[in-house]
Amino acid sequence: MRKITAGLFIAADGVVENPHEWHFPYFNDEMGAAVTAQLGSAETVLFGRITYDAFAGAWPAREAAGGEDAPMAKALGDARKIVVSTSELEFTWRNSEQLKGDLIEAVTALKQDSGGPIAISGSISVVRALLAAGLIDELHLYVHPIAIGKGLRLFDETADPVRLKLLKNTAFTTGVLYTVYGPADN
């Protein structure tokens, strides 16, 4: 069975919305290595449409530019990218396709197929649904030392409890806490 990991930049108050507005001052080599280990090693990447659009708008050009992050850009370009959206989509980034059918059924089948790791970056609605269905094996949270005060949070007030167990916890020099959770033993 394939392993599914989800990586999220999250503020200390739980906000996950618009990390591009508050995340970058905290990015360093430690975080880059952790993100590369989780996302850059994936054979398949699941995206919500908004996150996919942001990635597709940036990473192909980074790969073409051949700069410092070109290896990560190439890994993302080479990965199979599956986008969750109810709207019909057209793709320009190689190896991209739209998820067809029910999210939980499709991801359950994908997880049972042979192959390498499956990763998710951002894509809050996808992460929420897969957590609720018990399909995420590791939740990688990069908890930033900032309170945003308003915005979408990973867990909203209507969410059922999701029991987790801590697998790993590291403090980066920027003050970001990198925590990895797995499903709690029931």
User: Given CA atoms 35, 132, 169, 178 in this order, what sign does their dihedral have?
Assistant: positive
**For residue 136, what are the CA distances in angstroms to 36, 88, 142?**
18, 26, 17
Whether residue 77 is predicted with pLDDT greater than 90 in this model: the reply is yes
Instruction: Report the chain's mean pLDDT, rounded to a whole number.
Output: 93
Q: How far apart are CA 31 and CA 146, in angstroms?
A: 16
Give residue 162's pLDDT: 85
Place of tokens 């991209």: 96
Q: How far is CA 67 from the centre of its chain?
A: 23
CATH of domain 4-46+102-183: 3.40.430.10
State which H helix or E strand residue 128 sits in: helix 124-132
pLDDT at 156: 77
What is the pLDDT, as a whole number, of residue 155?
A: 86
- Distance from C-alpha of 25 to C-alpha of 10, rounded to nearest angstrom: 14
Locate the domains of the chain by residue range.
Answer: 4-46+102-183
Kindly report whether the global pTM for this prediction surpasses the value 0.75. Answer: yes
- Each residue's pLDDT tens digit, 37-76: 999 889 999 999 999 999 999 999 999 999 898 999 999 9
In the chain, DSSP assigns E strands to: 4-11, 44-48, 80-84, 96-98, 118-121, 138-144, 164-171, 177-183
pLDDT in tens, 126-184: 999 999 999 999 999 999 999 999 999 998 776 678 889 999 999 999 999 999 999 99
pLDDT value, residue 158: 67
Measured CA to CA in angstroms, residue 110 lies from 15, 28, 46, 81, 173 at distances of 29, 33, 11, 12, 37
CA distance 63 to 98: 22
- The end-to-end CA distance of the chain, in Å, is 20
Q: What is the pLDDT of residues 84-141, one digit of tens each?
A: 999 889 999 999 999 989 999 999 999 999 999 999 999 999 999 999 999 999 999 9
Asked if 183 and 165 count as a contact pair (C-beta separation under 8 A), the reply is: yes
